[in-house]
A and B are shown apart, each in its own frame.
Chain A
Amino acid sequence: MPVTETRLLLKYADEPDYTPGIDSYLMVGGYEMLKKAVGMKPEEIRNEVKGSGLRGRGGAGFPCGVKWDLVDRKSGKPIYLICNCDESEPGTFKDRQLVHKDPHQLIEGMMISAFANDVKLAFIYIREEMPKGAKILSAAIDEARARGFVGANICGSSYSCELIVHRGAGAYICGEETGLIESLEGKRAYPRIKPPYFPAVLGLYNCPTIVNNVETLCNIVHILRMGVVEYNKIGRPNNTGTRLWCVSGHVQRPGYFEVAGITMGQLLYDLCGGPRPGRKFKAIVPGGGSMKILRYDEKFKGKKPNGEAYEYGVDDIPLDFDGVAAAGSMSGSGGMMVMDDSVDILEALANLTQFYAHESCGQCTPCREGSQWARKITARMCTGNGQPGDLDTLYDMAGNIGGRTVCPMGFSTTWPVQSYIDKFREEIVAKARENRCGMPREARLIQK
């Protein structure tokens, strides 16, 4: 029986008559949860979110309830809520769907979250490359304000909260929460050192701040609607709720899918139609360009409940936080990129190192210099000018980046470089030795 999606957040988004307008949203019960929320105590809502086990959908998978708990509520300073809609991780395009097709769901999720955290001013930081999205959100906020869901006296209560759309300008590093905050303050998006600048304590304007992903905030509506017990039935412990997975690259039917409790094989075959005609799967990057790559023929070690060890393959990887982590990678932002046997892995790596070198903010030494070095080496190898020792240099210096930087972006060079070399070393070495790196002209992945 092929699996199907579990549409919760995207239940109505792709229905033919559904529009981003407020009337569509109200017709399907929209804003009922906001009305309920303003009659509850904020702590009650926070407890619901904690009990739901909701983990951040932006990339790190940090439990949302715990993040809200860390907020300093004693400082006397205003608390801010920021929706991170800077979706820029290569392979990810799920937040685009939510924002363009069902903006009110996000707005309702934000207003409930704002109420739960005593927030009076909330922001949606949307990347510049979604100009329509910004307009759709602004229009939706105006609609919501006209009906009392945003602004003064929400749903007739004494609670007021304003919501602003703020546009980015083309920086992946604004997806990092402290980089986003710096950018929102009108400065270069240099992530902050932690300690001491944990957003929950010293965030926007050095006030306690919550930064949550679009999908995470949309889930809040459903947690309140279903209740903790029902919500926990979706997925499995520590991996509750649905997830929006994005599949791109060499599958028959790339696209976005909202699923729960399925395996990677079910996604790749049942939902995406398997590999292209005449091709075989070669490699999968599970959770966005930063994540470690998996060979399609890789085997992993698992343990049965009775303690017995067993082996499983990529198709059997449970498609959630813990499942992908157990396979040695991360589900990250859910941006899965699939490569078949037409791909030169080194070119794929060169393509990604160019991305991360371009996006490095330049603040700290390892990422600034190391990401550009990785780009230069891989680009040179792809033009057939690889030197002996290139791979060892590349691998070793990449190990000096991740974990040594101000923000986790250091890993965006380290993980791809080291995992591609770890898993495809023979192929890369053979091609470099023969100076025959590179893909056929019409298929290549880097500019020559």
Chain B
Amino acid sequence: MSEPKKDDGLISVNIDRVEVRCRPGENIVEVAASIGHEIPHYCYHPKLSVSGNCRMCLVEMGLPGKDRATGKLLHNTDGSPLIQWFPGPAIACGTRAAPGMHIRTTSEVVKKCREGVMEFLLLNHPLDCPICDQAGECRLQEFSTHYGRGYSRFLEEKNVKPKRTVLGPRVTLDDERCILCSRCIRFSREIARDDVLGFTDRGSYSTLTCFPGRKLENNYSLNTVDICPVGALTSTDFRFKMRVWFLKASPSIDTETSTGCNTAVWSREGKIYRITPRRNDGVNDTWMPDSGRTLYKQVEAENRLQQSLVRGQPAAFADALREATTILTGGTRASGSVAVVGSGRSSVEEQFLLKKLAGALGGATAQIVGRVGEGDDLLVSKDKNPNVRGALLTGLIDALPVPQLSGLAREIDAGRVKTLLVVGEDLVGAGLNAAQLAKVSIVYVGTHLDATAAKAAVVLAGLTVFEKFGSFINQQFRIQKFHRAVPGPAGARDDLVLLASLLANVSGAEAPSVMESVWAAMSAEVPALAGLSFARIPATGKVLDGAPWSSLPFIEGKTMHFNPAAARAPAAVTA
């Protein structure tokens, strides 16, 4: 029924006899998806230009008929608008919602279209399923099951094309599997802006190619693997490693920078196999940098702390905790002689507990280590800490961190700081030298045996971001959650437990040590987090009010969904 526009600016279209309200001009593939009517497609991608060449999304389309002379709408005898159906099918991805538009996604015509396209796609497609990584998440498999004719009539020889082209350091290409959807080319040109892929030759011999001598090696090359609907572009790192149906995807956050790309960490039985982007239209769309995908390798790094240490020797957690308490409380006897170095890579919850712990340690000064590097204008921000803003919000710090802790170095040299509580940072890279480390007693909470941990009196083994739950606050002041993908080493403990135990021991009072209790305390004590809980944070995060810190000289520049100039205006807070 064509109604006049309501004030919400939406229009009505009809999909398979269901009235749907949508924005004018919205892509029909999306409108149909919004009511659960899947229109199968290959070349269409919500974040790329429409190319309309796979022809899988053909649907029947009709528009309200108008009198040629007067322009008035025509009606059936029962008063309903007369819908003039187009004689031929139209591609849904190339069709934009117009008032009164009618779409049929399930009809004999559409069925025949899909069977036809599926048959054509499979014609020259190699029978690689048994050895193809895409199996299990392959749209050719899925759609041929749902919409294909189920048997082959092709008796000829299939086209032969190169099968194991190394396109670049991280991507391998099998040209026979390629269905020439052009998603990868459009991505490289429009998003990564590294125009390095193209089709050579013509017709059925068309082949995806890199110019000889050039490589697909930009920091977003693996996104082409994500969007490739088939197993043509594959990740060389993941190639032949694991069948995807065995993998569990845990939602996580890329800790590489303060962009906070949403990720999915794929694991099986305690081992991580790959990281892919997770869609967040407010942060990273459907993309992530290649550099963030290898971060899971730290889980099984050579110097991973498998258990707590006391003076370099493996120790039971309870013993290590007792030693650490002794060192820290001993340190507070001389007031101001305990310094706390936290991390911009700790979660908001951990930073909250650390602040409390610093307070309990006689108001020890707390700082975190700054991390600055080169950014791009896509998804890599200049701030290589994912959670500086968490430290600000929780009050752990009140100024932006610096990469070199020269103040702390001076204090140590002057003998004023005698005890250090270090959480997840290697101070040797942060401006302190071995001599200075030797002058202090160190309690180290972290995951890897770095130079600082090696000098620590007590090392409390914690968990990487892949092994625990928590939240980060990104450059947009958006709080986003990450979830455990794999369990940590048996001798490690959750950082919340580590910090809460220390806090309880030092303060003598109970400390919250699980998500629920930590959040209960946080939402009560941190104004920006009032009313929130871990569970209540939406999957795509929630933008908090960053106004109180808007005058700080944040170093990030413009990236995909972040504009620092806009961010400085307090009114420009969007969810």
A/B touching: CB–CB < 8 A: yes
Are the C-beta atoms of B206 and A362 separated by less than 8 Å? yes
Give chain A residues whose Cβ lies under 8 Å from the Cβ of B363: none
Within the assembled complex, what's the spacing in Å between the Cα atoms of A394 and B306?
A: 65
Q: Decide if B179 is an interface residue (CB 8 Å cutoff).
A: yes
Give chain B residues whose Cβ lies under 8 Å from the Cβ of A190: 53
Q: Decide if A358 is an interface residue (CB 8 Å cutoff).
A: yes
Within the assembled complex, what's the spacing in Å between the Cα atoms of A433 and B204?
A: 30
Interface residues of A in 351-370 (CB under 8 A from B): 357-366, 368-370
Give chain B residues whose Cβ lies under 8 Å from the Cβ of A371: 203-204
Mask: chain B, 109-148; 1 = CB below 8 Å from A; 0 = not: 0001101110111011000000000000000000000000
Are the C-beta atoms of B123 and A373 separated by less than 8 Å? yes
Q: Known contacts A369-B204, A403-B89; is A397 also within 8 Å of B116 by CB?
A: yes
Q: Could you say which of B54-62, B169-177, B353-361, B451-459 contacts chain A?
A: B54-62
Mask: chain A, 370-403; 1 = CB below 8 Å from B; 0 = not: 1111001100100000010110010001011101
Q: Known contacts A188-B199, A361-B203, A400-B116; is A373 also within 8 Å of B156 by CB?
A: yes
Interface of chain A, main secondary structure: loop
Q: Which of B53, B157, B205: most chain A Cβ within 10 A?
A: B53
Q: Decide if A8 is an interface residue (CB 8 Å cutoff).
A: no
Are the C-beta atoms of A362 and B180 separated by less than 8 Å? yes
Are the C-beta atoms of A368 and B153 separated by less than 8 Å? no
Q: Sort chain B's interface into a size bin.
A: 35 or more
Are the C-beta atoms of B199 and A362 separated by less than 8 Å? yes
Q: Decide if B202 is an interface residue (CB 8 Å cutoff).
A: yes
Q: Known contacts A365-B117, A366-B116, A369-B204; is A404 also within 8 Å of B180 by CB?
A: no
Are the C-beta atoms of B55 and A366 separated by less than 8 Å? yes
Q: Known contacts A364-B55, A369-B123, A404-B116; is A357 also within 8 Å of B156 by CB?
A: no
Are the C-beta atoms of B203 and A359 separated by less than 8 Å? yes
Are the C-beta atoms of B113 and A362 separated by less than 8 Å? no
Are the C-beta atoms of B117 and A360 separated by less than 8 Å? no
Mask: chain B, 43-55; 1 = CB below 8 Å from A; 0 = not: 0000000111111
User: What's the minimum C-beta distance from B26 to chain A, rounded to whole angstroms?
Assistant: 14
Within the assembled complex, what's the spacing in Å between the Cα atoms of A174 and B120?
A: 24
Neighbour of B204 across the interface among A372, A401, A403, CB < 8 A:
A372
Interface of chain B, main secondary structure: loop
Q: Known contacts A364-B55, A365-B179; is A389 also within 8 Å of B153 by CB?
A: yes
Q: How many residues of A contact B (CB 8 A)?
A: 37
Q: Decide if A97 is an interface residue (CB 8 Å cutoff).
A: no
Give chain B residues whose Cβ lies under 8 Å from the Cβ of A405: 55
Q: Decide if B192 is an interface residue (CB 8 Å cutoff).
A: no
Are the C-beta atoms of B155 and A387 separated by less than 8 Å? yes
Q: Known contacts A389-B153, A397-B119; is A362 also within 8 Å of B202 by CB?
A: yes
Residue of A nearest to B179 (CB): A365
Mask: chain A, 187-207; 1 = CB below 8 Å from B; 0 = not: 010100101100000000000
Neighbour of B120 across the interface among A171, A188, A366, CB < 8 A:
A366
Are the C-beta atoms of B156 and A377 separated by less than 8 Å? yes
Within the assembled complex, what's the spacing in Å between the Cα atoms of A363 and B56?
A: 13
Within the assembled complex, what's the spacing in Å between the Cα atoms of A65 and B202?
A: 35
Q: Known contacts A193-B94, A369-B204, A372-B203; is A404 also within 8 Å of B52 by CB?
A: no
Interface residues of B in 156-199 (CB under 8 A from A): 156-157, 159, 179-180, 199
Within the assembled complex, what's the spacing in Å between the Cα atoms of A190 and B186?
A: 14
Neighbour of A366 across the interface among B117, B179, B206, CB < 8 A:
B117
Q: Decide if A165 is an interface residue (CB 8 Å cutoff).
A: no
Are the C-beta atoms of B112 and A400 separated by less than 8 Å? yes
Q: Known contacts A193-B52, A193-B91, A360-B202; is A376 also within 8 Å of B121 by CB?
A: no
Q: Decide if B154 is an interface residue (CB 8 Å cutoff).
A: yes
Within the assembled complex, what's the spacing in Å between the Cα atoms of A405 and B55?
A: 7
Q: Decide if A429 is an interface residue (CB 8 Å cutoff).
A: no
Are the C-beta atoms of B112 and A365 separated by less than 8 Å? no
Within the assembled complex, what's the spacing in Å between the Cα atoms of A365 and B43?
A: 11
Residue of A nearest to B180 (CB): A362
Are the C-beta atoms of B124 and A369 separated by less than 8 Å? yes
Give chain B residues whose Cβ lies under 8 Å from the Cβ of A370: 120
Are the C-beta atoms of A393 and B153 separated by less than 8 Å? yes
Q: Decide if A130 is an interface residue (CB 8 Å cutoff).
A: no
Within the assembled complex, what's the spacing in Å between the Cα atoms of A362 and B203?
A: 4
Give chain A residues whose Cβ lies under 8 Å from the Cβ of B548: none
Give chain B residues whose Cβ lies under 8 Å from the Cβ of A393: 153
Q: Known contacts A193-B50, A404-B58; is A397 also within 8 Å of B153 by CB?
A: yes
Are the C-beta atoms of B113 and A361 separated by less than 8 Å? no
User: What's the minimum C-beta distance from B258 to chain A, rounded to whole angstroms?
Assistant: 37
Within the assembled complex, what's the spacing in Å between the Cα atoms of A276 and B486?
A: 83
Interface residues of A in 38-86 (CB under 8 A from B): none
Q: Decide if B79 is an interface residue (CB 8 Å cutoff).
A: no
Are the C-beta atoms of B199 and A369 separated by less than 8 Å? no
7 CB < 8 A contacts A-B? A195-B96, A357-B204, A362-B201, A362-B203, A362-B205, A364-B55, A369-B123
Instruction: Report the 9 A-B pairs with minimum CB-CB distance, sorted nearest first.
Output: A400-B116, A369-B120, A193-B52, A362-B206, A376-B156, A372-B204, A360-B203, A362-B203, A403-B88
For the A-B complex with A171-B202, A362-B206 known, give 9 more contacts whose Cβ atoms are closer than 8 Å.
A361-B203, A364-B55, A365-B53, A377-B155, A377-B156, A380-B156, A397-B116, A397-B119, A405-B55
